[in-house]
Amino acid sequence: MTDSLIDLRSDTVTRPTPAMLEAMFRAPVGDDVYDEDPTVRALEQEAAARFGLEAGLFCPSGTMTNQIAIKAHTEPLSEVICEQNSHIYLWEVGGIAFHSGASVALLPGRQGRLTAAQVETAIRPVNIHYPTTSLISLENTHNRGGGSCYDLADIAAIAEVAQRHSIPLHLDGARIFNALVATSQDAAEYGRLFDTISVCLSKGLGAPVGSVLLGSKQFIQKTKRIRKVMGGGMRQAGYLAAAGLYALENNVDRLADDHRRARQLGSTLAAQPYVAEVLPVETNLVIFRLQDTLPAEQFLSHLEQQGIKASSFGPQMIRFVTHLDVDDAKISR
């Protein structure tokens, strides 16, 4: 990626900064499969502490942390409740069926957000014809919902339903720090509401790779075996974990800059005659629908000719994502 390119496809395209690379270069390491990598341990402990949970498990990707959590929470003939456009359902290659042999109950959300009433209605009664509801999963921020954020009170209401029915509650928190910065919510409150949380380090936080699954010590110990069978046991992983530690320590507060730039893009797009609709911009995702008179492929081709990359996000839908490699000058251009 050249410095002149404006890559708005995703916040996963960021490159480590010189300071992050220096932290990686200096990281003390060991063999993580033997639990001997001090930097991995430090990252797992730091991530867990921020959310008030006991332990963490460092993995290569958010897909792996989500799928490990689902596998550990469920069993064949059980069911996961989630929003119909959830990442765990749409973008993880059918992993719930492949890894866990579980069914999925899909609920229509409002910009990806579910209500406690919807969740309670979807919980299966005891009946030999039905799968057993074994997990409720939320996504915050919600990708297909345009980076939308849950109100904490709405999460608490869903958590109450989950606890009353003794069903674990999982959070796909791929962009959870975007939500925390945008809403000024407390990360530790999430640890009180969710049984498990997947936190991605390679999106807005700018690490080159990695996610952390958070939960109780007992649960995380169980998930280590699942990570191993999925091929996720890494050796001197501290070099990667050091990037994640640097990201947590240095790149959280600056997410507000990405949000500001996304709002600037959204307001500018809303004023263009070729744009039919812009979803509300809450964080760093800008999703908009083009007028039918401008084919999406033509629009993306025009952007590429100008040195700008973006993503198609459905019929006539385009997604822009702001991140630390797109500064004010690039947004203005």
- pLDDT tens string 267-279: 999 999 999 999 9
Alpha helices in 169-235 (DSSP H): 176-183, 187-193, 217-229
Give pTM, 2 decimals: 0.97
Q: pLDDT by residue (tens digit) across 96-151?
A: 999 999 999 999 999 999 999 999 999 999 999 999 999 999 999 999 999 999 99
Percent of the chain with pLDDT over 90: 99
Burial 147-170 (b: 16+ CB within 10 A, else e): bbbbebeebebbbebbeeeebbbb
pLDDT tens digit sequence for 197-238: 999 999 999 999 999 999 999 999 999 999 999 999 999 999
Which DSSP string corresponds to 263-326? HHHHHHHHT-TTEEEE----SSEEEEEE-TTS-HHHHHHHHHHTTEE-EE-STTEEEEE--TTS
Cα distances (Å, whole numbers) of residue 226 to 57, 196, 222: 11, 15, 7
The pLDDT score that the predictor gives to residue 1 is 47
Q: Give the three-state DSSP class for 104.
A: strand
- Residue 240 CB neighbour total at 10 angstroms: 25
